[in-house]
Chains A and B, each alone.
Chain A
């Protein structure tokens, strides 16, 4: 069954929380909605977010690959060009450690950022159901429900005083009830 999104935009925290309550009363669970805000709120303010992430895996993978690349480059160069410098052993380990360390950290850093983007499901080419009011401080309750329950969800979101309701029609067009105040700040 296809999932559809509907977004309710609320002026303040209290009405947003009220909307989540109304939503729950309509028989939906915590997994069915998401909260869009312009800054983090204390974790669990809208009920504990159920999503799990595996971000910690990414730096480990990155570190491992960075370390291997570092090892390959340093050991490879020294063995491929057996030139003696300063009486050092042909495979000098201490200098290799320096570069391998940097490689490890670089890998970990890059993979962490990739992980953050991946786990955040970014980049998103299409904003979808969205309202610029959110970055102006309003709070959005984004319901993501099966198509047949869309109306129930919309009704629940409407039951609380709201600024806007954004829906998506069959063609994927975004329908916003109240257009946002001009784009200029």
Chain B
């Protein structure tokens, strides 16, 4: 069965609680973004929640939009890499190979969504957190790019388990850390190529769906569902 991993994010359900951010941080061994790092504007967040204010005081509304890597089918970051450190897998994942990466940072420059991050410093954790690191995920050294992998370690683990049992991966058998942590179930992960899957059905059954920056023609694998808002008819589309 062909596979294209993808995600649907329902903005109507998103509360901006940032649980996905924290879950991702923990799952993927992302160094702690201290205050210092934020001041340097070098925070690494594989998924981030952007917040926009709408309207004038006192009628202010906060809008949230979680942004992970879009895993574009035609990703601008890939071709500019001189060393094939990032490329498209057959499962529709925009892969980052840390070992090949030499840190030209062109991929990040050419990413319209700003979802690629550079390790400016050697990553460090407080001693107390050393046993918290996920053993299935590489710790990236300084000088390489990193980005959301759609929790590739979970995909592989599930696939291995399925192939050991001689079956196919079932829909909903696993999910990414962000989707797992989302208290409102706003993030749904799955195989877009499988029309039976929940994510494909959500993508198909809605008139609220849109992709970020779709005019660039990159065909992102992350689909957003517009917020249902009786007051403001359009929002995130034109920020």
Contact = CB atoms under 8 A, between A and B. Distances in A.
A and B touch in the complex (CB under 8 A): yes
Interface of A: 81, 83-88
A102 B84 CA distance: 21
Nearest to B95: A83
B210 interface: no
25 contacts: A81-B84, A83-B84, A83-B87, A83-B88, A84-B78, A84-B87, A84-B88, A85-B75, A85-B78, A85-B79, A85-B84, A85-B86, A85-B87, A85-B88, A86-B74, A86-B75, A86-B76, A86-B77, A86-B78, A86-B79, A86-B80, A87-B74, A87-B75, A87-B88, A88-B79
Most chain B CB atoms below 10 A, which of A81, A83, A88: A83
Nearest to A92: B79
A84 B73 CA distance: 10
B101 interface: no
Interface of B: 73-81, 84, 86-88
B96 to A, nearest CB: 12
Contacts of B87: 83-85
A81 B73 CA distance: 19
Main SS of the interface on chain A?
Answer: loop
B80 to A, nearest CB: 8
A141 B102 CA distance: 61
A81 B88 CA distance: 12
Nearest to A88: B79
A86 B74 CA distance: 4
Contacts of A87: 73-75, 88
B81 A85 contact: yes
Across chains A and B, which 5 residue pairs bring their CB atoms closest together, nearest first? A87-B74, A85-B78, A86-B79, A83-B87, A85-B79
A133 B202 CA distance: 92
A86 B75 CA distance: 5
Contacts of B75: 85-87
A86 B81 CA distance: 10
A87 B219 CA distance: 10
B8 to A, nearest CB: 22
Nearest to B76: A86
Contacts of A84: 78, 87-88
A83 to B, nearest CB: 4
B178 to A, nearest CB: 26
Contacts of A83: 84, 87-88
Nearest to B217: A87
A57 B172 CA distance: 68
A85 B80 CA distance: 9
A84 B84 CA distance: 9
A75 to B, nearest CB: 16
Contacts of A86: 74-80
A86 B79 CA distance: 5
Given A85-B86, A86-B79, 9 more contacts: A83-B87, A85-B75, A85-B78, A85-B79, A85-B84, A86-B75, A86-B77, A87-B75, A88-B79
Nearest to A87: B74
B237 to A, nearest CB: 24
Contacts of B81: 85
A114 to B, nearest CB: 30
A56 B164 CA distance: 67
Contacts of B74: 86-87
